[in-house]
Structure 1
Amino acid sequence: MSAGDVVGPAFPEVPVGTDNLLGLEVMGAETAAFNFAANLWSLHYLRLTNQIQPGITYEVLTAVNVQYAAMARYQDENGAFRMWPESEPSVWLTAYILRTLWLASFQDWENLIYIDPSIMNRATEWILGFQTSQGAFTETPNYKHPLDSKTNPTPRYQLERDGYKNVSLTAQVVLALVNVLPGLQGTLRGSANSARDRAVGYLERELESLHDPYDVALVSWALTKADSEQKEVAYNMLHRRRREEGNKIYWSREPVDFNPMVYEDSQRPFIQPKNDQKWDAHAVETTAYALLVYMARDGIGIIQENIVRFLAVMRELDGGLISTLDSVAAMEALVEYSYRARLRDVTNMYVTIEHSANPNFSVNVHLDNTFNLASMRSFDLENIWGHISIVGHGSGQALVQLDYSYGVDYEPLLDYPPVPAFDFTVSSKFYGRNNSHLEITTCQKWTDMEEAETSGVAVVEVHLPSGYYVMQDYLIDLVNSRTVRNLRWALRTDTQVKFFFNHLDNEDTCVTYEVERWHPVANHSRYNMARVYDLYQPERFNMTIFEVYPLYGLDVCEVCGSYQRMSGGRSPCQRHLHTGAGRVKQGPAKRPPGDTYVGS
């Protein structure tokens, strides 16, 4: 993949979202907010760099309206937003969505997207009810542990989190209030303005006590946006905490190891893939806020360019970086950088890509200041061995990225996290004729107590055997039963079942559910994959494989036998044996309850 700007490819598809930018099939209010923000930041980027082509604005904003409706689904009558339909309202999430909705406030788009002021007003009024007398903002009593684990410092950086001293949440609310204040009316505008001033005063008083780079960067950006008298003090604190390695500048709780280099017999260096690091998502989001502070203060310079180099190296996917929150923060910073640096005006670059395993493979890419500067150029490699040679010359800045994937069925070959954070076990129990029913139990718990008491939002994903299915209504009933601690939503995709938890603690949380064979498919795989991870710090994960040998041992006629309803005529399996056809005809897509299934 290559793109002619540090922002990355703009609209590889329309619309963009978590699926095509991050490879995540997730849902919830924050997911809808990410989809909303990703499309609007990409559109703002094209607008600011004069790359808007006819029709793209209408197409994108039409899709953004759908995401807007998706976000509104999660708003209560009192204005608060909740992460999932069955979860509790959150101050952090409501402030984050307010910041996101503000992105649509652009005069030229008013005929294509309209943000109802009552949504903004009710959300703002609800948030103001959670400001303390000291000026800080606190979460609702439902969230003793934050949804975003990055706002929960390690013991080394632990602040006195007593309900009156939540610096990161207060900074998030200040950023939201600064954005939405111009659109508020009446007494609410005066109340919000007063609340913002008290919150800024609180951040100024607590500034000197901050040690966590995330808190320092976020508070510095909030004070800069609010034009605080202490913004220069905050900048100096931020500048002292920077880390430098070669031509990269970044902020992180610990040093980050970049792509390792390997020297072979010829002493020619080869860049290897970057491994997951302990604080990847934390470092990206923190550095993005720092870049915004530096550009607001000093414009464009060598320091800003070296910060952008770090963000480019940390990019794990074509369109995103690590996860949703850090990717949106990085988008905002990189769009501002590209606009200020006038990258499109100076871009005139030639990139040559060669592959040692295929002497006939040679790609020449010309990147210039045309309308397709931000288009993604992708090339498939047929023989996956050897090395890739990339040579570029000319002017400008561009991204070149190599993506690869592979499957494993041997546990020692699985990916392992940089820090053990979760215990995770999966068990399966087959029953019914020819194993047509499968009961899956997953047990998971948080183990990295040195970092925090709990995880942030945790996701459990279990890959289903081919042909097996579970109804979404069944999963919703499981969530609503409240029999599983902290389980707030479940989602069935084409190939997986996903469970979403507010957090996981150091006690086992087990989920048991049943799936049934709905389609006559013979499984050729002996193992299926499952994993648990922190949604906003996906480098905190654990994955395992569980055996489905009872299915692996079935032949196609046994699969048909447990699937087919009692009826006249030959079954698909009988037709297969009679005609010698190469594939089995698929049976009914849905199985009405109460039907009897027998062998052929």
Structure 2
Amino acid sequence: MTVNKALLLDLRSESSFSTSINITTPPNIVNGSRAVIVNVIGDVLGPAVTDLHNLLELPTGCGEQNMAKLVPNIVLMEYPKNKNQLSDAMGAAKRNSETGYQQQLNYRRQDGSFSAFGTRDESGSTWLTAFVIKSLAEASRHIDVEPEVLKGALEWLIPLQQANGSFSEVGTVNNEAMQGGASQGVPLTAYVTIALLTVQRPPTAKVRNVVNRAVDFLASGLDNIEEFYSLAITTYALHLADHPLRDAAFYKLEGKANVEGKEKWWSSGEMKRTHETFIDSLPLDVEATSYALLTYVSRDLTRDALPIMQWLVRQRNQYGGFQSTQDTVVGMTALAALAGKLTTTDPQVNVRLIYGARGKNLQVTRSNTMLLQRFELPSDTEKVELTASGSGVAVVQVTYHYNVRVTGPKPSFSLDPQLDITTDANRLRLTTCTGLVHNVDLKKNLVHFWYIAGNSSNMAVMDVSLPSGYIVDNDLIPGLYDYTGVKLVEKKPDDSGVVVYFDFLTPTEVCPTVVAYRVNKVAFQKASSVRVYDYYDTSRQARQFYKALPATLCDICDLDECDPGQCEQQIIELNRQQQDPEDIERPATVTEVAAGVMSSPTTLLTVITFLATTLLHRHYY
């Protein structure tokens, strides 16, 4: 588990700031798994700029997810600040954008549209095609984008407009929130409008006509829009279009804001905070708040927008991204739009951190604004006292990691990983049944309605981790596509597991089987996990653990090299660990190897030779 607590230090109008950050972990964490890290940087986009590849802690194997990796690079190339310190990052962003663009063409269909899984889908996606149009139009200012790609996507998208000016999804609905629930397609229409206003400035007569009809549809239904997300994205679209009702939409949006201390945000009101995920907000809250921030920027309300930025910064993960794809894309875009307006003539922020009996001083100046200052605190740190003085802007992040062995208090999916009876010491067959769990206490609102009305989830992902020493059987991966709803299967790094994408999951369980074989002998393996989650709302998940057939040190050494007495002790230790939820996986130590093979003169000589060689190497080198 990873918890990130971020603070935006704005010392442009105040000369000092102080606060304390508590580092709280649940009581059932795995011993020795705790780590605490502090990052300080002088730019709001800093955490994202320094680690663009890791913005999302999610797999990126479909068309939308590839765009989620591409767009932050475009945002960086458009960012007006600190150009002199970002030359290397800008170069990397351009190369990443060129690669991402070429990869996105894999999800382009013959009719010019785009879909999550390309030709594997029955049709293109209205929403994803609009997303690609908007993003590639912005990217074309920095990299070469073939005009035919944008033209083909536009020619496919424009005829989808309905008689009333709205747009609806014709492809697979991977994210139901975009359909708008009671708002009847308002969010998707607003999204397409934003994309069309971006792709052509000024727009052609044909595009202008489409935009006018879409904006009229949005404006005519403004009085009936109550859902916070629909209202936020509609308000921003009306501002981009410079519609006469933009002020009315803005004041209505203001009336739905949440304000607490120096923070401001928009949400469904169902904020979450659990030891399992430490989630304060849902991805849709971040996305809606980001559209609100973009609206503030368009109205040149920089000072009034700062509380919104404060809240958004606090929701980010350790890499500067958010929970999912769209909240990361829109959130980073909104933060960049406002951050570009925050200027300090000669920034100098002095940060003092006190933890336990120790302390550390850091300084942010013009010369190191984009330098990520990172250091690790003692793992048992429970509280960090922070004081800051000077002038300028900085971001401080306290990130802590730990392992915990729980499945979650209210899993959203059923999940049952079981080893097949044909599993042996060298070959593993894992069948995992999963399905959507009915949550009868959920309210039918924008965030939750698709779990009830349609009895299905959004796009869902199953992440299967294999025990150490095992790799997936590549020859049998194609068979996973035979299971209901499976659209894509990816191998994890080093073949250490698989990631399975489903169009959606329903209460009817699906039970894919993953086959792996052992390539390295590892004793005392800890349990491995299987996790299923909704891609667009990662707080909706389930996780279970399973164990490979138990192995002791004597199981992995040759029979003539193992001391029977030592093996008996290993079995006792294994049985103890089977009952201990905090067992830690580890390879055999040198001491254990020596103890297990002392009865073998040949092996003992080998061990002595190895140790002697190691000592000589250290002596001379």
TM-score range, shorter chain: 0.7 to 0.9
Q: Which residue of 2 aligns with 1:275?
A: 278
Amino acid at match of 2:350: Y
Q: Which residue of 1 aligns with 2:487?
A: 488
Q: Measured at CA, do residues 432 and 532 of structure 1 come closer, stay the same or move farther in structure 2, by a change above 3 Å?
A: closer
User: Aligned partners of 2:430 and 2:514: how far apart in 1?
Assistant: 6
Q: Which residue of 2 aligns with 1:469?
A: 471
Q: Does 1:202 align with 2:210?
A: no
Q: Which residue of 2 aligns with 1:439?
A: 430
Q: Does 1:9 align with 2:36?
A: no
Q: Does 1:137 align with 2:175?
A: no
User: Aligned partners of 1:293 and 1:336: how far apart in 2?
Assistant: 10
Answer yes or no: is the 8 Å Cα contact 1:353–1:363 preserved in 2. Answer: yes
User: Aligned partners of 2:474 and 2:255: how far apart in 1?
Assistant: 51
Q: Measured at CA, do residues 560 and 399 of structure 1 come closer, stay the same or move farther in structure 2, by a change above 3 Å?
A: farther
Q: How many Å apart are 1:472 and its aligned residue? A: 5.0
Amino acid at match of 2:182: L
Answer yes or no: is the 8 Å Cα contact 2:414–2:433 preserved in 1. Answer: no
Q: Which residue of 1 aligns with 2:603?
A: 579
Q: How many Å apart are 1:22 and its aligned residue? A: 2.5
Q: Measured at CA, do residues 387 and 485 of structure 1 come closer, stay the same or move farther in structure 2, by a change above 3 Å?
A: same
Within 5 Å, which residues of 2 pair with 1:337-348? 337-342=338-343, 344-345=344-345, 347-348=347-348
Q: Measured at CA, do residues 198 and 496 of structure 1 come closer, stay the same or move farther in structure 2, by a change above 3 Å?
A: same
User: Aligned partners of 2:559 and 2:366: how far apart in 1?
Assistant: 58
Answer yes or no: is the 8 Å Cα contact 2:352–2:386 preserved in 1. Answer: yes
Structure 1 residues 96-150: Cα deviation after superposition (integer angstroms, max 9, x where no partner) = 11122122133xx3xxx2011110010111111211111111111x43xx31243
Q: Measured at CA, do residues 487 and 273 of structure 1 come closer, stay the same or move farther in structure 2, by a change above 3 Å?
A: closer
Answer yes or no: is the 8 Å Cα contact 1:466–1:523 preserved in 2. Answer: no
Amino acid at match of 2:266: W
Q: Measured at CA, do residues 215 and 148 of structure 1 come closer, stay the same or move farther in structure 2, by a change above 3 Å?
A: same
Answer yes or no: is the 8 Å Cα contact 2:49–2:89 preserved in 1. Answer: no
Structure 1 residues 434-474: Cα deviation after superposition (integer angstroms, max 9, x where no partner) = 34232332323243464223221111111111222225564
User: Aligned partners of 2:490 and 2:244: how far apart in 1?
Assistant: 47
Q: Which residue of 2 aligns with 1:238?
A: 253
Q: How many Å apart are 1:24 and its aligned residue? A: 2.5
Q: Does 1:159 align with 2:216?
A: no
Q: Does 1:294 align with 2:317?
A: no
Q: Which runs of 5+ in 2 are unaligned?
A: 1-38, 443-447, 562-595, 611-621
Match of 2:157 among 105, 110, 127: 127
Answer yes or no: is the 8 Å Cα contact 2:353–2:387 preserved in 1. Answer: yes
User: Aligned partners of 2:220 and 2:62: how far apart in 1?
Assistant: 35
Per mean C-alpha deviation after superposition, the further-off stretch among 470-479 and 372-381 is 470-479
Q: Which residue of 2 aligns with 1:336?
A: 337
Q: Does 1:401 align with 2:397?
A: yes
Answer yes or no: is the 8 Å Cα contact 2:138–2:199 preserved in 1. Answer: no
Answer yes or no: is the 8 Å Cα contact 2:41–2:370 preserved in 1. Answer: yes
Q: Measured at CA, do residues 200 and 509 of structure 1 come closer, stay the same or move farther in structure 2, by a change above 3 Å?
A: same
User: Aligned partners of 2:598 and 2:471: how far apart in 1?
Assistant: 25
Q: Which residue of 1 aligns with 2:586?
A: none
TM-score, length basis structure 1 = 0.80
Q: Does 1:74 align with 2:107?
A: yes
Q: Identity, % of aligned pairs?
A: 25
User: Aligned partners of 2:300 and 2:479: how far apart in 1?
Assistant: 54
Structure 1 residues 127-176: Cα deviation after superposition (integer angstroms, max 9, x where no partner) = 11211111111111x43xx31243355xxxx416xxxx311111111011
Give 3-state SS (helix, strand or coil) of 1:389's partner.
strand
User: Aligned partners of 1:378 and 1:285: how far apart in 2?
Assistant: 29
Q: Measured at CA, do residues 122 and 193 of structure 1 come closer, stay the same or move farther in structure 2, by a change above 3 Å?
A: same
Q: How many Å apart are 1:505 and its aligned residue? A: 2.0
Aligned residue pairs total: 520
TM-score, length basis structure 2 = 0.77
User: Aligned partners of 1:559 and 1:291: how far apart in 2?
Assistant: 68
Q: Does 1:366 align with 2:393?
A: no
User: Aligned partners of 2:399 and 2:557: how far apart in 1?
Assistant: 39
User: Aligned partners of 1:202 and 1:560: how far apart in 2?
Assistant: 81
Amino acid at match of 1:169: L
Q: Which residue of 2 aligns with 1:171?
A: 190
Q: Which residue of 2 aligns with 1:117?
A: 147
Answer yes or no: is the 8 Å Cα contact 2:127–2:192 preserved in 1. Answer: yes
User: Aligned partners of 1:557 and 1:349: how far apart in 2?
Assistant: 58
Q: How many Å apart are 1:538 and its aligned residue? A: 0.9
Q: Measured at CA, do residues 448 and 71 of structure 1 come closer, stay the same or move farther in structure 2, by a change above 3 Å?
A: farther
Match of 2:199 among 151, 156, 180: 180
Q: How many Å apart are 1:547 and its aligned residue? A: 2.8
Q: Does 1:428 align with 2:389?
A: no
User: Aligned partners of 1:368 and 1:133: how far apart in 2?
Assistant: 56
Q: How many Å apart are 1:403 and its aligned residue? A: 1.5
Q: Which runs of 5+ in 1 are unaligned?
A: 260-271, 562-572, 586-600
Per mean C-alpha deviation after superposition, the further-off stretch among 202-211 and 387-396 is 387-396
User: Aligned partners of 2:176 and 2:214: how far apart in 1?
Assistant: 22
Q: Which residue of 2 aligns with 1:392?
A: 388
Structure 1 residues 317-363: Cα deviation after superposition (integer angstroms, max 9, x where no partner) = 23212222101111111111111122x5353201122321xx4x532
Q: How many Å apart are 1:273 and its aligned residue? A: 11
Within 5 Å, which residues of 2 pair with 1:295-310? 295-301=297-303, 303-310=304-311
User: Aligned partners of 2:74 and 2:507: how far apart in 1?
Assistant: 39
Q: Which residue of 2 aligns with 1:104?
A: 139
Q: How many Å apart are 1:501 and its aligned residue? A: 1.2
RMSD over equivalenced CA pairs, Å: 3.0
Per mean C-alpha deviation after superposition, the further-off stretch among 430-439 and 280-289 is 430-439
Answer yes or no: is the 8 Å Cα contact 2:476–2:515 preserved in 1. Answer: no
Q: Measured at CA, do residues 29 and 345 of structure 1 come closer, stay the same or move farther in structure 2, by a change above 3 Å?
A: farther
Q: How many Å apart are 1:37 and its aligned residue? A: 0.8
Q: How many Å apart are 1:477 and its aligned residue? A: 4.6
Q: How many Å apart are 1:558 and its aligned residue? A: 7.5
Q: How many Å apart are 1:389 and its aligned residue? A: 2.2
